[in-house]
Amino acid sequence: MEITVLGTAGSTPTKERNVSSTFMSYKAEGILFDCGEGTQRQMKIIGIPLSKITRIFITHWHGDHVIGLPGLLQSMGLSDHQGAIDVYGPPDTRERIAYAFKAFEFDSQLNLRVHEVKTGMILETDDFTVECLPLKHRIACVGYRFAEKDKRKMDAKLLKKYNVPFGPQVGKLQEGSVVTIDGKKVTPDMVSEVVAGKKVAYVMDTATCANAVKLAQDVDLLISESTYHSDMADQAHEYAHMTAQEAAQIASQANAKRLLLTHFSARYKDVNILEEDARAVFDNSQAAKDFMKIKL
């Protein structure tokens, strides 16, 4: 699993920062969270082909999170993108995307599947699940939780000890079934251990709320908005945003392993001040930079 930060600015881009977008590569999946203006150019700069995108998760329909979507879809269509593109977003997402197709002339046909989401499990594959919960913003906004499924790691020495040949029996053990070898039962726990899957929460544009904590519960990485320093808490609350310290409090309450701060107000030329603000509460906090890569 590799995460590439494509944009870390708040409502407007700066010379150093593009607006919100994050790309996650996981096996055959290319997952894009939000698609602010300039996202496809950021992908080209860092070397991620648009053909890698399989799913797009939109948190809400403020422009700094979605204006790049029409251009991205146009370019993907012109490149003869193979396979379906699944777009997930809050209520009215289907209607808003239809408006975009009316506003612009699209010269290509994409197999676009739009899913409007509110709460709960919205996607399950053999390898992972995605959940969403509503957040507390000025318009409908959802946060996402990506959870890799737990897997069994087979121990070659133990397989040999119990005379389990490599083949169908190993596959059954990996699935959690009991097999019989030389008349004796071999359970999965005898020859393997469960490896916990990685978990990532993506929480943008919200005031502090219980659902943000739920999404971040026990995650390996919480990617959270931190628009303001704690000395601007009143303004943060007026616009339904969080301070860096409030993002850190969520990470702490949720027992997250790591906090990645993003969505910074343009007033902060040096975001180290926000990182320090967060670390006063949650030490494993880091301010994101455009084109930062994180492997989990």
Q: Give residue 257's Cα distance to chain centre.
A: 15
Distance CA 222, CA 2 (A): 14
Sorted by sequence, the CB contacts under 8 Å of residue 159 that are 6+ apart come out as 166, 170, 191
Q: Do residues 40 and 72 lie in contact, with contact meaning Cβ atoms separated by under 8 Å?
A: yes
Report helix angle 69-78 to 93-103, nearest 10: 70
Active-site residue, selected from the candidate residues 64, 205, 220, 290: 64
Sorted by sequence, the CB contacts under 8 Å of residue 241 that are 6+ apart come out as 205, 206, 207, 225, 227, 228, 263
> Coil, helix or strand for 66?
helix
Is 126 annotated as catalytic?
no
Which residues belong to the active site?
64
